[in-house]
Amino acid sequence: MSVVIVVGAQWGDEGKGKVVDLFTERADVVVRYGGGANAGHTLVIEGKKLVTHLVPSGVLHPGKACVLGDGMVIDPHALLDEIAECQARGLLQQNELLIGLGAHVILPYHKLVDGLREDHGAKRGRAIGTTRRGIGPAYEMKAARRGIRVRDLLRPERLAALVASNLDDLAPVIQHLGGTAPSAQEIQGWITDALTAGEKLRKYTGDAGRHVDNAIKRGQHVLFEGAQGCLLDLDHGTYPYVTSSSTIAAGACQSAGIGPTMIDAVVGITKAYATRVGEGPFPTELHGEAGDKLRIAGGEFGATTGRPRRCGWLDLPALRMGVRLSGMKSLALTKLDVLCGMPEIQVCVAYKLDGKELDEPPTDPEDLARATPIYARQPGWGALPSDARDVSDLPAPARAYVETIERMAGVPFCLISVGPDRTETIRLHDPFV
């Protein structure tokens, strides 16, 4: 058996969906471990797109258990829509889904507060650029021990009391932020809708932690699917421009309630370049035409919000930090094909700050914003063979680029993606042993 964590090595949107889908061929159980509908995994199967926000990307493999861990924050209405969409595509027909009863719930007022805070912050130059999916407010309530969990959706009286108490706390906040405090009728509507959603979800709910632990003890292959990326981690990312959960590999253990000794491998996913959505420092960002070109070539528009992603050169100090934070033992490289046709590729190998060279991003956000990237320049390549099955099938400049990343990140690649389809992949090493 083996237990593998797949984690984004950058600021999210690394193409984890495709990699998780490929690794799921060997997995018995796939567990989503953090965040909520802020994530968007775009899956392309035989040319058709499916975007999942909450359901693990492993959903494309009928019969494999798909678990939503207790560390998640789940919008029950968004989840029901997604289940319906998957079922309409012939997926999730075999009772594959298990939603942790301990996961927290996002209700309309969490989203309302998220949006109001962003608007309020934007006027004062303090916006985070969140996805406005209610993620921050739901995790805040959880930490304040006033959160609502999936189990509460199944207890009408408890749910009504919790919602009332939440809104007692939040009504003044909503008003302070320029919103209108919800009416009693509106609140009742939210409770009724949440209870209806809870009833529809009831059959999928259970003890996710025990289920995962039992699967590991039975010797099954378990795959943990990270959302977002290491640099958006609440504790270790580019705070405050981060999400509100533990996106690093340790978050998998915390969410599922299993110990770190259970984990056999951590695979990081990195794109061949860098992107970031929302605010926050991004030293290798390309502005103007160069950034636009990369955005269009890579289709870099948010799968959740449709926002254009900020694009730039690959940042190796940031990648090294991701490798360290998650203890990655190998990497998967995605979207190498997007760089095809560029006359020259640049890659940030270090930063310069106050006359010193740094091999990892400075931890203070103002220092990071001031740091200057030091670039290495490499020749580009024309096209990649979509049937490449080994690094030796790549043109020499692409091979050199791959080798530079490997050398400077300090860990080998286990997979290189040369196109969006499942088949367009160089598979070097299987993380499941």
Nearer to ligand IMP, 209 or 420 (CB): 420
How far is residue 151 CA from its own chain's centroid?
Answer: 25
Task: Return the axis-axis angle of helices 135-143 and 108-123, rounded to nearest 10°.
Answer: 110
Cis-peptide, bond into residue 283, ω within 30° of zero: no
Stretch that binds ligand IMP, among 238-246, 290-298, 313-321, 358-366 (CB under 6 A): 238-246
- Which of 57, 228, 284, 425 forms a contact with ligand IMP (CB under 6 A)? 228
Stretch that binds ligand IMP, among 22-30, 130-138, 147-155, 178-186 (CB under 6 A): 130-138
Q: Is the dihedral of CA 284, 250, 81, 17 positive or negative?
A: positive
Binding of residue 268 to ligand IMP (CB under 6 A): no
Binding of residue 130 to ligand IMP (CB under 6 A): yes
Q: Letter for the amino acid at 245?
A: S
- Which of 133, 221, 271, 335 forms a contact with ligand IMP (CB under 6 A)? 133
To ligand IMP, the closest distance from the beta carbon of 401 in angstroms equals 24
Binding of residue 227 to ligand IMP (CB under 6 A): yes
- Which of 2, 10, 24, 38 forms a contact with ligand IMP (CB under 6 A)? 38
In angstroms, how far is the first alpha carbon of the chain from the final one? 7
Binding of residue 244 to ligand IMP (CB under 6 A): yes
Binding of residue 19 to ligand IMP (CB under 6 A): no
Nearer to ligand IMP, 16 or 320 (CB): 16
Q: Give CA–CA dist 376/296, Å, rounded.
A: 24
Binding of residue 121 to ligand IMP (CB under 6 A): no
To ligand IMP, the closest distance from the beta carbon of 39 in angstroms equals 4
Residue in the block written with tokens 């254009």: 308
To ligand IMP, the closest distance from the beta carbon of 188 in angstroms equals 27
Half-sphere exposure of 305 (CA within 13 A, CB side): 14
Nearer to ligand IMP, 252 or 394 (CB): 252
Stretch that binds ligand IMP, among 75-83, 125-133, 166-174, 202-210 (CB under 6 A): 125-133
Binding site residues, ligand IMP, CB under 6 A: 11-13, 38-40, 128-131, 133, 135-136, 227-228, 232, 241, 243-244, 277-278
